[in-house]
Amino acid sequence: MPPIPEPVPWAQPLPEASPPAGMTLHHLPTGTYVTRAALAFRGGSFGDKRHFASSAVLVQHPAGDLLIDAGFGTGVADHIAMLPRFVRAPYETGPTVSSQLDTAGYDRSRLLGVLPTHSHWDHVSGLDGLPGTPIWMNANERGYAATDPDGKVFRSVSQGHEIHEYGFADRPYLGFASSYDVHGDGSVVIALAGGHTTGSVIVFVTLPTGTRYAFIGDLTWQIDGIRRRVERPWLLSKLADSDREQLRQGLQHVIAVEGLMQVVPAHDLGAYQGIPLLSDGPSLRTG
């Protein structure tokens, strides 16, 4: 397929947001796995080896904190063993989200829950170290995770967790048809994107400084998908995505606002640049 047509850049005022003083954002990297660029986006090279990030992001807000995704957990080797052999890849693990929270002396009573951008293994493995923490999911993703073969790891690590099911208002947000304002102040807004999984979401975060972020999950695996306006290769999309046309529309919406905020595909390690780490941890170890 040709590149995605270049959309008209977003020219309307950005949605109102009143993030409270003290709201912060932290990157919690938990490891990487290796994928060739040719398998990540159309036009990528087989000689370009990409280290796909598996990370979480902690959004601290006076009304309660959220983790966006959960990264690799202590049982990641077992979780990878649940996958079909053809999707397994060499990987490296770092400190889990749980250990990073403990190292930083984080008060887990502040944590409202873990908000997966979607339920695939590399976004939820770390739930195994967060017992008692609610999982925030919408009905579409909850249904997908309960029935799709790619939800196998989620079904394992989510046992014993409360599912906090959130819904969407019929309220457009930056081109997406429906959204959910977590705190009612515009600082954390979840938009239903779909396309990759039926309930996959984008989490828009606005800090008190006015800096805005779009955590787009696996709408594209690398920032090249946004900047080059390209999708996944046909076969990979066939295997990985639930609705290619919906995915394409989501990419167009994000491409239109990319100049107004920091866009963070979940697996692009460089896209997290500038987001402070919660704590320094031990160096990566090979798995």
Can you tell me the distance from the alpha carbon of 21 to that of 269, in angstroms, rounded to the nearest whole number? 28
| Mean pLDDT calculated for residue range 71-87 | 95
In the prediction, which pLDDT does 1 show? 59
pTM score, two decimals?
Answer: 0.95
Question: Is pLDDT above 80 for 158?
Answer: yes
- In which band, very low, low, confident or very high, does the pLDDT at 285 lie, cut at 50, 70 and 90? very low
Query: Distance of CA 168 to CAs 142, 143, 248, Å?
Result: 14, 15, 21
Question: Is pLDDT above 90 for 16?
Answer: yes
Can you tell me the distance from the alpha carbon of 164 to that of 177, in angstroms, rounded to the nearest whole number? 22
In the prediction, which pLDDT does 268 show? 97
Is 33 strand, coil or helix? strand
Is 21 strand, coil or helix? coil
* 227-270 pLDDT, tens digit each: 999 999 888 888 888 999 999 999 999 999 999 999 999 999 99
Query: Distance of CA 52 to CAs 161, 185, 192, 213, 265, Å?
Result: 27, 33, 24, 19, 10
Is 25 strand, coil or helix? strand
What one-character-per-residue DSSP string does 146-188 give? HHSGGGHHHHHHTTTPPEEE---BS--BTTBS-EEESSSSSSE
* 196-235 pLDDT, tens digit each: 999 999 999 999 999 999 999 999 999 999 999 999 988 8
Query: Distance of CA 117 to CAs 48, 67, 135, 162, 224, Å?
Result: 26, 10, 11, 17, 19
- In which band, very low, low, confident or very high, does the pLDDT at 284 lie, cut at 50, 70 and 90? very low
Can you tell me the distance from the alpha carbon of 116 to that of 127, in angstroms, rounded to the nearest whole number? 10
* 29-78 pLDDT, tens digit each: 999 999 998 888 889 999 999 999 999 999 999 999 999 999 999 999 99
